[in-house]
Amino acid sequence: MNAPHILIIVQNLPVPLDRRVWLECQALIARGYRVSVICPKGPGDPAFQRIDGVDIFKYKPAPEAEGLFGFAWEFAYSWVRTAWLSLKAWRRSRFDVIQACNPPDTYWLLATLWRVRGVRFVFDHHDLNPELFISRFGHPSGLVKKLEFGGLRWLERRTFRAADRVISTNESYKAVAVRRGSRRPGHVTVVRSGPDTQQMRPIYPANPRAADEVGLVYLGIMGPQDGVDQVLLVVDELVNRRGLTNVKATLLGFGDCLEDLKRQSTALGLDEHVTFTGRVDRVAIAEHLSRADIGLCPDLKTPLNDVSTMNKTMEYMSYGLPAVSFDLVETRVSGADTVQYVPSGDIAAFADAVQALIDDPARRTDLGVRARHRVATELDWRPQAEAYVAVFDDVTGFSQDGPAVPPTEGNPECDAQGRRYVPLDDAAEFARFLEERRTP
């Protein structure tokens, strides 16, 4: 049979910036599927790109949403633009399956409309939108908030029920699909967002930190629910109250709160100690995570965060970074005993844990070695990719031999940019690197 064509819909991030979705695209391509993506544009992105065999259709994103009507406009605008681009993708090459990644939970309707043409629907469940609502606004009180919350619950139910198969990012999300979505466990597949650790691994940084500098790093989206303001409070505690003036924090990413965070940093007198990079690509991520000393996971314990898998945790682990996190159920599943946990919202305890790691290079090294081993042996993307592709094999009946992620040929010494990898099979050199974070 001809290779099936999969159309993937993403609204909250451009592709290939969305690491999970891009890994999914690559896994499908490697297994022989044809793949197209519809997503918003990033800065400077063209309306159409073909990257590594993936056709990417992009639309100008809606203005930043504020309030109920703002979010309703954003969802409606993005839905219409996506529907139009799905017609363009169909005319270019008919697709067999739509995979919609939430948020939001609105694309079940588009998938239902395409069902009349024989198109199947796979729901890739990235976020719990009712829990996100509660985390941002509290439990609904008053008619308007109750209607908003009820609408989110209704959209979630419709998405679960419309899907031929559901892909969940962890067991907590699978339990929601079974309990709230009334899905049979056999129709829900857990595909964790593990990194490809053969590609995501430490390099010798081109611009290592100064010898007397302590490098802290945050990687991720900067939205109201992400707790990035907690990073600034921790740095304020370390620098302004404890006198650790050699601490430098680099915050990688963007989001609705970026400008507010910059103003907060200035108000706290931290501009000499905090750097905001904005949007970063994989090349910059490798540089920053390879030269930092400690990764920060500031997500507060909320109904959403507690059961969500934080990609940043596993990315820190890939680069051998010890990390400090507020104590969350799914973060413990990812990090186990390689991450330092403190009570949610306890800035002093978070700063204590960071300072303890600053003062104990041997502890940092031990945690880094164990974190890298855990992510490579327990959380790597390769087995997750096989589970992911198997969903589409089942839905389409397509079958082709070969791994969903081709093995890396040989043991390359450098990445695509010519930067040398740290030799992970040389225990002594890897340990030295984790302590010093520089070329020998």
pLDDT digits over 368-378, tens only?
999 999 999 99
CA dihedral sign of residues 256, 311, 216, 413: negative
pLDDT tier at 62, thresholds 50, 70, 90: confident
Specify if 209 maps to a domain.
no
Structural domains counted in the chain: 2
Same structural domain, 276 and 391: no
pLDDT tier at 70, thresholds 50, 70, 90: low
- The reported pLDDT for the residue numbered 104 is 93
Taking only the tens place, the pLDDT of each residue in 106-122 is 999 999 999 999 999 99
- The reported pLDDT for the residue numbered 410 is 62
Q: For the whole model, what pTM was predicted?
A: 0.89
Taking only the tens place, the pLDDT of each residue in 20-48 is 999 999 999 999 999 999 999 988 899 99
> How far is the C-alpha of 249 from the C-alpha of 320, rounded, in Å?
17
Specify if 403 maps to a domain.
no
Specify if 407 maps to a domain.
no
Same structural domain, 171 and 23: yes
Same structural domain, 130 and 251: no
Same structural domain, 389 and 370: no
Contacts of 79 (CB under 8 A, 6+ apart): 106, 107, 109, 110
Same structural domain, 96 and 175: yes
Same structural domain, 61 and 189: yes
For residue 312, pLDDT over 80 is answered with yes
> How far is the C-alpha of 421 from the C-alpha of 129, rounded, in Å?
39
- The reported pLDDT for the residue numbered 219 is 96
Residues of the domain holding 230: 214-376
How far from 62 is each of 55, 205, 346, 379, CA to CA, in Å? 22, 37, 36, 35
pLDDT tier at 211, thresholds 50, 70, 90: confident
For residue 246, pLDDT over 90 is answered with yes
Same structural domain, 386 and 339: no
